[in-house]
Amino acid sequence: MDISTVVNFLTNYVYYIGCFGLILIGLYIILVKSNLIKVIIGLSILDTGVNLFLISIGYIKKGTAPIFSKSGIEAKNMVDPVPQALVLTAIVIGVAVLALALSLAIRLYQHYGTLNLRKIREQKW
Protein backbone atom coordinates (compact mmCIF):
# COMPACT_ATOMS: atom_id res chain seq x y z
CA MET A 1 0.00 0.00 0.00
CA ASP A 2 1.70 3.21 -1.05
CA ILE A 3 1.31 6.56 0.58
CA SER A 4 -1.04 8.09 -1.99
CA THR A 5 -3.81 5.53 -1.38
CA VAL A 6 -3.61 6.29 2.34
CA VAL A 7 -3.83 10.01 1.68
CA ASN A 8 -6.71 9.46 -0.72
CA PHE A 9 -8.53 7.35 1.85
CA LEU A 10 -8.00 9.97 4.52
CA THR A 11 -9.16 12.87 2.36
CA ASN A 12 -12.26 10.98 1.27
CA TYR A 13 -13.28 9.68 4.66
CA VAL A 14 -11.83 12.20 7.09
CA TYR A 15 -15.28 13.36 8.21
CA TYR A 16 -16.44 9.84 8.94
CA ILE A 17 -13.24 9.01 10.81
CA GLY A 18 -13.59 12.20 12.83
CA CYS A 19 -17.23 11.76 13.79
CA PHE A 20 -16.94 8.08 14.66
CA GLY A 21 -13.87 9.00 16.69
CA LEU A 22 -15.98 11.51 18.63
CA ILE A 23 -18.76 8.92 19.10
CA LEU A 24 -16.30 6.38 20.49
CA ILE A 25 -14.67 8.97 22.78
CA GLY A 26 -18.10 9.91 24.10
CA LEU A 27 -19.07 6.29 24.73
CA TYR A 28 -15.71 5.67 26.44
CA ILE A 29 -16.25 8.61 28.81
CA ILE A 30 -19.81 7.52 29.65
CA LEU A 31 -18.76 3.95 30.39
CA VAL A 32 -15.53 4.57 32.28
CA LYS A 33 -15.80 7.84 34.19
CA SER A 34 -17.51 7.86 37.55
CA ASN A 35 -18.17 11.58 37.95
CA LEU A 36 -21.68 12.47 36.77
CA ILE A 37 -20.60 15.78 35.24
CA LYS A 38 -17.97 13.98 33.18
CA VAL A 39 -20.58 11.47 32.07
CA ILE A 40 -22.82 14.32 30.94
CA ILE A 41 -19.88 15.83 29.02
CA GLY A 42 -19.45 12.41 27.42
CA LEU A 43 -23.11 12.44 26.38
CA SER A 44 -22.57 15.86 24.83
CA ILE A 45 -19.52 14.65 22.87
CA LEU A 46 -21.49 11.61 21.70
CA ASP A 47 -24.28 13.89 20.51
CA THR A 48 -21.80 16.11 18.66
CA GLY A 49 -20.30 13.09 16.93
CA VAL A 50 -23.71 11.89 15.78
CA ASN A 51 -24.63 15.36 14.50
CA LEU A 52 -21.37 15.65 12.57
CA PHE A 53 -22.02 12.23 11.08
CA LEU A 54 -25.45 13.30 9.86
CA ILE A 55 -24.03 16.49 8.32
CA SER A 56 -21.19 14.66 6.58
CA ILE A 57 -23.64 12.27 4.90
CA GLY A 58 -25.10 15.09 2.82
CA TYR A 59 -21.93 17.16 2.37
CA ILE A 60 -20.34 17.82 -1.02
CA LYS A 61 -16.91 19.42 -1.29
CA LYS A 62 -17.18 23.05 -2.39
CA GLY A 63 -20.95 22.66 -2.52
CA THR A 64 -23.36 25.55 -2.12
CA ALA A 65 -26.52 26.03 -0.15
CA PRO A 66 -29.54 24.59 -1.97
CA ILE A 67 -31.08 27.93 -2.90
CA PHE A 68 -31.85 28.89 -6.50
CA SER A 69 -30.90 32.53 -6.06
CA LYS A 70 -28.67 33.04 -9.11
CA SER A 71 -29.17 31.65 -12.55
CA GLY A 72 -26.64 29.09 -13.70
CA ILE A 73 -26.35 27.14 -10.45
CA GLU A 74 -26.70 23.43 -11.03
CA ALA A 75 -28.38 21.13 -8.58
CA LYS A 76 -25.49 18.66 -8.51
CA ASN A 77 -23.27 21.15 -6.64
CA MET A 78 -25.70 21.67 -3.84
CA VAL A 79 -25.38 19.98 -0.47
CA ASP A 80 -28.29 17.85 0.69
CA PRO A 81 -30.49 20.00 2.96
CA VAL A 82 -32.36 17.14 4.65
CA PRO A 83 -29.54 16.03 7.02
CA GLN A 84 -29.06 19.66 8.04
CA ALA A 85 -32.71 19.92 8.98
CA LEU A 86 -32.36 16.66 10.92
CA VAL A 87 -29.33 17.99 12.77
CA LEU A 88 -31.16 21.16 13.78
CA THR A 89 -33.83 19.00 15.40
CA ALA A 90 -31.26 16.66 16.93
CA ILE A 91 -29.33 19.59 18.45
CA VAL A 92 -32.49 20.90 20.10
CA ILE A 93 -33.29 17.46 21.50
CA GLY A 94 -29.71 17.13 22.72
CA VAL A 95 -29.91 20.48 24.51
CA ALA A 96 -33.12 19.39 26.26
CA VAL A 97 -31.52 16.13 27.43
CA LEU A 98 -28.40 17.93 28.66
CA ALA A 99 -30.41 20.56 30.54
CA LEU A 100 -32.47 17.86 32.25
CA ALA A 101 -29.33 15.86 33.07
CA LEU A 102 -27.61 18.86 34.61
CA SER A 103 -30.63 19.78 36.72
CA LEU A 104 -30.82 16.17 37.92
CA ALA A 105 -27.10 16.36 38.76
CA ILE A 106 -27.78 19.38 40.98
CA ARG A 107 -30.53 17.50 42.82
CA LEU A 108 -28.36 14.41 43.12
CA TYR A 109 -25.60 16.48 44.70
CA GLN A 110 -28.07 18.00 47.18
CA HIS A 111 -29.20 14.54 48.28
CA TYR A 112 -25.91 12.65 48.41
CA GLY A 113 -23.25 15.34 48.74
CA THR A 114 -21.27 13.69 45.97
CA LEU A 115 -21.38 13.28 42.22
CA ASN A 116 -19.37 10.06 42.22
CA LEU A 117 -21.66 7.46 40.67
CA ARG A 118 -19.68 4.59 42.21
CA LYS A 119 -20.65 5.82 45.68
CA ILE A 120 -24.37 6.26 44.92
CA ARG A 121 -25.75 2.77 45.23
CA GLU A 122 -29.02 2.84 47.07
CA GLN A 123 -30.85 0.62 44.65
CA LYS A 124 -29.71 -2.80 43.60
CA TRP A 125 -31.16 -5.76 41.77
Q: Are 29 and 44 in contact (CB under 8 A)?
A: no
108 binds other proteins (CB under 8 A): yes
74 binds other proteins (CB under 8 A): no
Interface residue with other proteins, options 6, 82, 88, 91 (CB under 8 A) = 82
Interface residue with other proteins, options 15, 25, 27, 73 (CB under 8 A) = 27
Q: Residue 43's closest CA among 89, 88, 101?
A: 101
How does 35-70 read in b/e, with b if 16+ C-beta sit within 10 Å? ebeebbbbbbbbbbbbbbbbbeebeeeeeeeeeeee
Footprint of other proteins (CB under 8 A) = 23, 27, 30, 36, 39, 43, 46-47, 50, 53-54, 57, 82-83, 86, 89-90, 93, 96-97, 100-101, 104-105, 107-108, 111-112, 117, 120, 122-123, 125
